[in-house]
Amino acid sequence: MEVVQIGGGVTRLTKGDIVGALIWGGETKGLGAYSEYCLADQRIAFKVPTALSREDASTIPLAAATAWLALFSPDCLNLDRTNAQGTSVLVWGGSTSAGLYSIQIASLYGFDVITTCSPHNAELVRSYGAKYVFDYKDEKVAEEIRKVAPNIYHVLTLRQGSICTVRPGKANTEGISEKAHVTDVLVWTAFLKEHRYGKFHWPASERDHELAIELLEKLGPWLEEGMLKPNATKVLSGLDAVSGGFQKYRDRKISAYKIVYQI
């Protein structure tokens, strides 16, 4: 999106800049990004490199911030970025939007990334930084993963470990030991506001907010230098295309790309 007006005290952005940002919306009337104009916080926005299309840029903040918080938030996996050597991280569903960013970000800091995906996406996730790739439908997938990482702790292990899911609550995991520490990630915590979803509650988190600010400061340089790349996109035109896009999602025909609508 293009910056058309700035508020007092804004120093990082100027009118005319093309930016990507985390935008508070959803259930809050008058806020959100599905509009001609929206409000953005400069601290959780980034300048889009000139070589990056607006369509690609629009897919980045939500998925990248979800991955970043899942990996490094004290309330999620809380990985130590200063001591990554020899540490394996399992990303289950590596060809998803958040999965591809998780692979890239973890790899940037030196973690050994193990991931699962469909066989037709194996080379894709390798190109994003995965060291080991397994077919999640393989009945022996857990056994095969243990062969390359017998002491894996983060994300999944049968006896114990630390698991972070993008769905709230331990009830949404299956076959997980009672000894496993299960957390969930929700990008709303980046906004320094509390959020409720049904019976679940996420309090405002100063730590997650500061982490999000750090990520958004890094995104522009990382993208410009090719250290991070966005998901593949498929651009559809007009509001009439929206229902067709949702139907593709329901039919599970979307794999390893994001649909972007030009309105």
Question: Is the pLDDT assigned to residue 191 strictly greater than 90?
Answer: no
pLDDT in tens, 131-185: 999 999 999 998 999 899 887 766 533 334 566 777 665 545 565 666 666 777 7
How many domains are contained in the chain? 2
**Residue 146 sits in the same domain as residue 85:** yes
d(CA 107, CA 115): 12
Is 157 among the domain residues? yes
163 vs 201, which has greater pLDDT? 201
Half-sphere exposure of 28 (CA within 13 A, CB side): 13
Is 36 among the domain residues? yes
DSSP codes of every residue in 144-210: HHHHH-TT--BS--SSSEEEEESSSSGGG--S--TTEEEEE--GGGGGTS-EEETTEEE---HHHHH
Among 27-31, 108-112, 192-196, 209-213, the range scoring the smallest mean pLDDT is 27-31
Residue-range definition of the domain harbouring residue 147: 80-184
Partnered with residue 236 across adjacent β-strands are 261
**Residue 154 sits in the same domain as residue 120:** yes
Question: Is the pLDDT assigned to residue 69 strictly greater than 50?
Answer: yes
d(CA 181, CA 160): 7
**Residue 32 sits in the same domain as residue 104:** no
Domain CATH for 104 = 3.40.50.720
DSSP 241: G
Residue ranges with strand state E in 44-118: 45-47, 88-92, 112-117
Q: How high is the pLDDT of residue 175?
A: 59
Residue of 150, 160, 138 whose CA lies nearest to 114: 150
Predicted TM-score (pTM) of the model is: 0.87
